[in-house]
Amino acid sequence: MLCKCWWHLQILLVTSLWVWGNVDAATPTVKVGNISQVEDAAYFRIYYGQTFKVIKNAFDGKSYLLIQLLGLLGGLKGITSDNVASECVMRLYKEGQLQLIKRSDVVDTQQFAAHFIVNTDQPQSCNFATFLSLGEDSPLQRAEWIKYLGVFANLETRANQIYDTIKKNYMCLSKGASTRNAPFKPIVAWMQYNDGIWSFTKEAFKLKYVEDSGGENIDDSINKVTYNISLPDDVEAFHAILCTVDVVIDETYASDPTAYTASTFLQNLSVEDQSCLAFMANQSLWRYDKRVQNSTVLGN
């Protein structure tokens, strides 16, 4: 384990008398009450002592020692991007209760007790903690990272409840899908267009979503992932594959999600003959970005 911060070295050497953030050493510590246990996630572990807790993060090899201090993290105070799917977060931001911080602004992040980052290569201060749910392979493993955040905010009980609900729901839906009496499993393709190239996803968690919901991923034997629409051979092969697909999840980035329609998709597909596209005929073309950056869905 390589530690850039003296703070992290302290964790290795002394497992006491150190607190997250800059808190006076005389502040009384509180006994650990509620705990979280990691059930599914592969890349973090939590350990509890009488008055401290340790999170081990397998992505950056670091451990974070937290001495219990009630209310240490007041709550979410800032975000580094306004590209957020949570309507609650967007609302807080629009109401001015959350500040937008420039990623490069190291000085600014020092006012926070903890700053969660996803890029472990960036220069780090000692209040930085790597939050990389994206590195997990399955949807549930990713969701369980709510417990990682819960540990920092002393909200283990709440995090456990949220994760249990998500997991129960997910297992129920996936069980329902597996017992469904359908003559065939629909073939599902996650795909996106960028700079003249269409590509099918290889991301494990997306393929898992398809399996768990009773679908089938496009044939593994199709090992070509990217198709250049300027090359006739590529276009032909790409169209042939699309004729076998029942459901498309279009992940193409759209700067204005509401303006992106099925016809935008079709233009970028550059298919003249749509007759073999079952996913179009069956209205099985999906996107998932309609609520990004939209705080109005909450109403007032």
Contact between 252 and 216 (Cβ < 8 Å): no
The footprint of ligand NAG on residues 107-136 (CB under 6 A) is none
Taking the least distance from each CB to ligand NAG, the nearer of 125 and 199 is 199
Contact flag: residue 176 with ligand NAG (CB under 6 A): no
Taking the least distance from each CB to ligand NAG, the nearer of 80 and 252 is 252
Which two structure tokens, joined as six digits, stand for 170?
Answer: 């997910």
The footprint of ligand NAG on residues 177-206 (CB under 6 A) is 186, 193-197
11: three-class secondary structure by DSSP: helix
The footprint of ligand NAG on residues 210-249 (CB under 6 A) is 228, 230-231, 246
Contact flag: residue 278 with ligand NAG (CB under 6 A): yes
Task: Identify the residue among 15, 264, 285, 289 touching ligand NAG (CB under 6 A).
Answer: 264
Residues 6 or more apart from 20 whose CB is under 8 A from it?
Answer: 64, 65, 66, 67, 69, 72, 113, 114, 127, 152
266: three-class secondary structure by DSSP: helix
Spatial distance between the Cα atoms of 206 and 41, rounded to a whole number of angstroms: 16
Taking the least distance from each CB to ligand NAG, the nearer of 16 and 282 is 282
Burial class (CB in 10 A: 0-12, 13-18, 19+), 108: middle
Taking the least distance from each CB to ligand NAG, the nearer of 125 and 228 is 228
Spatial distance between the Cα atoms of 242 and 39, rounded to a whole number of angstroms: 38
Contact between 93 and 84 (Cβ < 8 Å): yes
Taking the least distance from each CB to ligand NAG, the nearer of 68 and 138 is 68
Spatial distance between the Cα atoms of 2 and 12, rounded to a whole number of angstroms: 11
Phi first, then psi, for residue 227 (nearest 5°) are -135, 120
The footprint of ligand NAG on residues 9-38 (CB under 6 A) is 33-34
Spatial distance between the Cα atoms of 289 and 217, rounded to a whole number of angstroms: 21
Size of the site for ligand NAG (CB under 6 A): 25
Contact flag: residue 282 with ligand NAG (CB under 6 A): yes
Spatial distance between the Cα atoms of 238 and 207, rounded to a whole number of angstroms: 19
Q: Give the DSSP H or E segment for 200.
A: strand 197-200
Residues 6 or more apart from 235 whose CB is under 8 A from it?
Answer: 227, 229, 270
Taking the least distance from each CB to ligand NAG, the nearer of 94 and 103 is 94
CB of 284 to ligand NAG, least distance (A): 7
CB of 33 to ligand NAG, least distance (A): 2
Spatial distance between the Cα atoms of 188 and 168, rounded to a whole number of angstroms: 24
CB of 190 to ligand NAG, least distance (A): 16
Give the residue closest to ligand NAG by C-beta: 33
Task: Identify the residue among 9, 47, 296, 298 touching ligand NAG (CB under 6 A).
Answer: 296
Contact flag: residue 268 with ligand NAG (CB under 6 A): yes
Taking the least distance from each CB to ligand NAG, the nearer of 110 and 267 is 267
Taking the least distance from each CB to ligand NAG, the nearer of 154 and 213 is 154
Q: Where on the chain is the footprint of ligand NAG (CB under 6 A)?
A: 33-34, 154, 157, 186, 193-197, 228, 230-231, 246, 252, 258, 264, 267-268, 278, 281-282, 294, 296-297
